[in-house]
Amino acid sequence: MSKMTLYGIWLSGPTYKAGLALSLMGQPFAYKHVDLRAGAHKQPDYLAINRFGQVPALVDGDLKLCQSGSILLYLADKFGKMGGKTAEEKARVREWLFWEFDRLASNIYRPRAIKRGFMKADDNVHQMYVNQAGDALKVLDGALAKSDFLVGSEATIADVAVYGDVAYAEEGAIDLEPFANVKAWMGRVEKLPGFQKYADLLPQQDAA
């Protein structure tokens, strides 16, 4: 069986989520670097893979799939891992995926983009995102006071998705110190077999 191919860029949180899920599930994958600064994501050959012109994209045989949440759900279903053990757990996983996209991701990625110079905004805008991230992190911290992982007793793709946001918080000048349960949970995720940080997992060029 040929390896799946992940398209993305190493600085992308959503790309990291997809790559981390593959790694945690023990699935090797080929990697294609998409140079966003050069506009590679808007070229016809890439748009044939990802019609939205974004990263990541996953190619598995004839299947071309985009949006990190959809990729995580597909991988969980395909390999029977990290998707929840019962119907209720599967529903809770999806609940966290929708919450993460709605309340957490942009409020971490945008201040990070501002601090890295990828997005222009004044200090008030940055602080607005930081405050909104703090509100979401309070919710997350409260949930993690009750369990080691977000759903059930084992890590799921919900943990992968949320970790793929929180891992970038400090790059956006978002202080995680007030959220002891979140920090402890991050430590548990980082001890999972197959875990790698984004700079180690995602190459800066194509990889077979």
- Which pLDDT score is estimated for 205? 84
- Which pLDDT score is estimated for 58? 98
Domain(s) of CATH 3.40.30.10: residues in the chain: 4-81+195-201
Domain(s) of CATH 1.20.1050.10: residues in the chain: 87-190
Q: What's the rounded Cα separation, in Å, for the pair 151 and 99?
A: 13
Q: What's the rounded Cα separation, in Å, for the pair 92 and 97?
A: 9
CB 169 within 8 A of CB 162: no
Q: Which fold is adopted by the domain 4-81+195-201?
A: Glutaredoxin (3.40.30)
- Residues 131-140 as b or e (16 or more Cβ within 10 Å = b): ebbbebbeeb
Residue 60 tokens, joined: 């598995």
pLDDT tens per residue across all 208 residues of the chain: 578 999 999 899 999 999 999 999 999 999 999 998 888 899 999 999 999 999 999 999 999 999 999 999 999 999 999 999 999 999 999 999 999 999 999 999 999 999 988 889 889 999 999 999 999 999 999 999 999 999 999 999 999 999 999 999 999 999 999 999 999 999 999 999 999 999 999 888 878 7
According to DSSP, the β-strands at 4-8 and 57-60 are antiparallel
Q: Which residues contact 204 (CB under 8 A, 6 or more apart)?
A: 10, 33
DSSP states along 167-196: TTTGGGT---TT-HHHHHHHHHHHTSTT--
- Best CA proximity match to 65, nearest among 114, 7, 143, 142: 7
CATH of domain 87-190: 1.20.1050.10
Residue 6: DSSP 8-state: E
DSSP states along 38-71: TTGGGSHHHHTT-TT--S-EEEETTEEEESHHHH
Which pTM was predicted?
0.95
